[in-house]
Chain A
Amino acid sequence: DGGITQSPKYLFRKEGQNVTLSCEQNLNHDAMYWYRQDPGQGLRLIYYSQIVNDFQKGDIAEGYSVSREKKESFPLTVTSAQKNPTAFYLCASSIFPIPNSYEQYFGPGTRLTVT
């Protein structure tokens, strides 16, 4: 089955610890994205990558870091500098450039709780 997998589904961490969220896709997509969703809020873009070994900051990149060493993988690290890390994190992918007729596909998400 083609798709996007995110692991783990739930993640609990103590304040001050860095944590890495996994995102893998087997859709052969060039571009990958990380979004954050807070209750009652729209999704906000954290980082995106259009090609291997390249990535760009989105609207809320502070306190996060990413890498793109392989086409199919785009891990997100939530660092201790992120002031409010508790949220639902969604990974997405698409071909790039994206034709007007093409969608972004989303993974199942990781719920991170930091106490």
Chain B
Amino acid sequence: KQEVTQIPAALSVPEGENLVLNCSFTDSAIYNLQWFRQDPGKGLTSLLLIQSSQREQTSGRLNASLDKSSGRSTLYIAASQPGDSATYLCAPRAGSYQLTFGKGTKLSVIP
């Protein structure tokens, strides 16, 4: 059974700092991995999807990497802003539909 771990559970950084969120998963036979953002009391917003054949995906200040063989993904946020404050979730897809979610990293960017 796929297990997903996100470290750290919470992170507080000053505005402008670059930061890295980590995601590890136990079953490396995945089709893709999604990174989501969740604001308090809200649904999930998809940030990036990396296919199993890819190493990196970029969107604006966000860069996600995937090392499938070692069961790791990272989300890099450049020049963090207070508006980036949210919980970030990673979810690898190992089956035809099934996403397995980590517990998330709660990010606070201090002005």
Contacts and interface: CB of A to CB of B under 8 A. Distances in A.
Interface of A: 6, 31, 33, 40-45, 48, 50, 88, 90, 92, 94, 96-98, 100-109, 111
Q: Chain B: interface residue count, which band? A: 20 to 34
Contacts of B99: 43, 45, 104
Interface of B: 4, 31-32, 34, 36, 41-46, 49, 51-53, 89, 91, 93, 96-104
Given A100-B52, A108-B43, 17 more contacts: A6-B43, A31-B97, A41-B103, A42-B101, A43-B44, A43-B89, A43-B101, A48-B97, A50-B97, A88-B41, A90-B44, A98-B93, A100-B53, A101-B32, A105-B46, A106-B36, A106-B44
A97 B42 contact: no
B74 to A, nearest CB: 18
List the 8 closest pairs (A to B, CB-CB), nearest first: A42-B101, A106-B44, A108-B43, A43-B101, A100-B51, A106-B43, A109-B43, A100-B31
B43 A42 contact: no
A103 B43 contact: no
B97 A42 contact: no
